């Protein structure tokens, strides 16, 4: 079965276009993540990006948001904490609950990576006429809204 075919062999050019777009967007995310300091891995960068969005949260909530198990968050957090990009704490209502949050140094890393990503997006969008940019923006919002209204997972988006 080809990428643009549904089960039963029906061709879907819209699906094929989204598959190509996905590869492009993942490539931009991958490239921008390399702006992070040496030694910060892609999974660690993903954790920082998601955590920056969530704010201070229990490790269990971060694991759920990332779609991974708690032990994976613990390993990633250990490395990020040792580099000063993440800090741990305790929940004010339940001291047995470990919380995590991005530090100022971690926020700087997130900001640099997002700026690299935004620069790549601007470069691409600047190649389009204004009318097309507006169409891309509207389509992106529509796709995100449609995904949110279905069972399609947006967990841990990078």
Distances (CA, A) of 47 to 35, 36, 123: 15, 13, 26
Tell me the whole-structure pTM to 2 decimals.
0.80
Predicted local confidence at residue 95, as pLDDT: 82
Q: Mind listing the pLDDT tens digit of every residue in the chain (158 residues)?
A: 455 555 556 689 999 999 999 999 999 999 999 999 999 999 999 999 999 999 999 999 999 999 999 899 999 999 999 999 999 998 888 888 899 999 999 999 999 999 999 999 999 999 999 999 999 999 999 998 998 888 665 555 55
The answer to whether the CB of 97 falls within 8 A of the CB of 91 is yes
Among 34, 30, 32, 11, smallest CA distance to 22 is for 30
How far apart (Å, rounded) are the C-alpha atoms in residues 9 and 96? Answer: 53
- Domain 34-148: which CATH number of 1.10.10.10, 3.30.450.20, 3.30.870.10, 1.10.3720.10: 1.10.10.10
Q: What integer pLDDT is reported at residue 79 of this predicted model?
A: 95
C-alpha to C-alpha distance for 156 and 31, rounded to whole angstroms? 18
């Amino acid at each position: 079965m080809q990428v643009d075919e549904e089960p039963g062999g029906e061709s879907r050019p819209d699906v094929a276009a989204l598959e190509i777009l996905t590869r492009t967007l993942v490539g931009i995310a991958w490239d921008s993540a390399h702006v992070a300091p040496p030694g910060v891995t892609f999974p660690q960068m993903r954790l920082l990006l998601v955590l920056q969005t969530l704010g201070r949260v229990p490790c269990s909530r971060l694991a759920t948001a990332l779609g991974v198990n708690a032990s994976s968050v613990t390993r990633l957090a250990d490395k990020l904490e040792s580099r000063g990009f993440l800090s741990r704490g305790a929940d004010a209502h339940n001291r047995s609950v470990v919380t995590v949050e991005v530090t100022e140094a971690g926020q700087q890393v997130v900001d640099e990576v997002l700026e690299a990503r935004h620069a790549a997006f601007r470069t691409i969008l600047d190649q389009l006429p204004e009318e097309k940019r507006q169409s891309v923006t509207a389509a992106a919002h529509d796709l995100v809204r449609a995904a949110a209204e279905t069972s399609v997972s947006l967990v841990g988006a990078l």
